[in-house]
Amino acid sequence: MSSFKSKYQDELIANAAYIGTPGKGILAADESTGTIGKRLASINVENVESNRRALRELLFTTPGAFECLSGVILFEETLYQKTASGKPFVELLKEGGVLPGIKVDKGTVELAGTNGETTTQGLDGLGQRCQKYYEAGARFAKWRAVLKIGPNEPSELAIHENAYGLARYAVICQETGLVPIVEPEILVDGPHDINKCAEVTERVLAACYKALNDHHVLLEGTLLKPNMVTPGSESPKVTSEVIAKYTVTALQRTVPAAVPAIVFLSGGQSEEEATLNLNAMNKFQGKKPWSLSFSFGRALQQSTLKAWSGKDENIKKAQDAFIVRCKANSHATLGTYKGDATLAEGASESLHVKDYKY
């Protein structure tokens, strides 16, 4: 085959397929220490380990949540944390039929001579780190590449660097038993229209899949985590149906059928927007040889965070908010979301932060 034969081949294929189970999706709970600090700050909670642990325990022990989740992406610290009663989070997830995943990139750095375009670091010793994570129970990984739309962006350089970085990361993961989630995020920032976003998305995804092929990545053992195709943040909004059509068309033109599932990032969309858009995609009549699901961070946690506000007495309220979003998105993967999710405070709130740094 054009792809290399990993000793983990069957496992990679099975795990990737499992993550794409209709009705399930991914909770992206891999905020780095710095990033989770911003979230905690927004609800006046101190950024200490016990609070970070408490938040994740709140999420992972929400009754019924695991039925809606096939995977959770973790930050390294969380991979080794436990519940208050001493059960490792990884065990809790596994018992609940949820695959633990791990963020393995080390953030972005600017590409000299460009207008603020970036590449992603993290390849040094990546193989050994992945082995370590596999031993700790992780079965998939995530690496975020970032591109932006501007008058001269994304440049050929940015596209090439990010595509080939993703491909190198992906094959290293497969060598060590982790399903790589390939995430080429094109930021929503800008006044461009949806056509422009579609054009850029198609170009970027085509480059990604050429790079993955060059690096002998086994597509059946990968997942894609793209942006949805939408107008820029400073452009007038469009309906979910329009977003669905442009997004699915872009994917039909670039993502081979061998990829089992596409798990969208939510970018700056509100919880409700993200769910409605995902739902519209699954209702859209057109060829979709991969399942379409979610890998949401903010769009799953926003109202939960607000409801919790760091207080023990709010845990139940917060968990109620969380299960509502989980179920809503689970429905959306089946195209059966009726928009009747009890709208908690913050569910419609835009989560867009200009020039968002993870």
**Of 207, 244, 299, 324, which lies in the binding site for another protein, with binding defined by CB under 8 A?**
207
**Of 27, 73, 219, 261, which lies in the binding site for another protein, with binding defined by CB under 8 A?**
219
In angstroms, give the least distance from the CB of 289 to another protein: 4
**Of 32, 252, 309, 314, which lies in the binding site for another protein, with binding defined by CB under 8 A?**
252
In angstroms, give the least distance from the CB of 68 to another protein: 24
Secondary structure of 153-208 in the HEC alphabet?
A: ECCHHHHHHHHHHHHHHHHHHHHCCCEEEEEEEECCCCCCCHHHHHHHHHHHHHHH
Alpha carbon separation from 116 to 110, 191, 210 (Å, rounded): 6, 17, 25
Q: Which is nearer to another protein, 200 or 300 (CB)?
A: 200
Q: Does 159 bind another protein (CB under 8 A)?
A: no
Alpha carbon separation from 66 to 21, 264, 282, 323 (Å, rounded): 13, 19, 21, 9
Q: Which is nearer to another protein, 62 or 227 (CB)?
A: 227
**CA-CA distance, 322 to 72, in Å (whole number)?**
14
Q: Residues 264-293: x/- map of binding to another protein (CB under 8 A)?
A: -----------------------xxx----
Q: Does 258 bind another protein (CB under 8 A)?
A: yes
Q: Is the dihedral of CA 120, 126, 127, 132 positive or negative?
A: negative
What the block records as the tokens of 219 is: 């597509």
Residue 225 annotated among the catalytic residues of the structure: yes
Q: Which is catalytic among the residues 153, 183, 202, 220?
A: 183
Q: Which is nearer to another protein, 192 or 298 (CB)?
A: 192
In angstroms, give the least distance from the CB of 219 to another protein: 5
**CA-CA distance, 328 to 324, in Å (whole number)?**
6
Short-list 115, 177, 179, 117, CA closest to 145: 117
Q: Which is nearer to another protein, 211 or 305 (CB)?
A: 211
Question: So which residues are the catalytic ones?
Answer: 183, 225
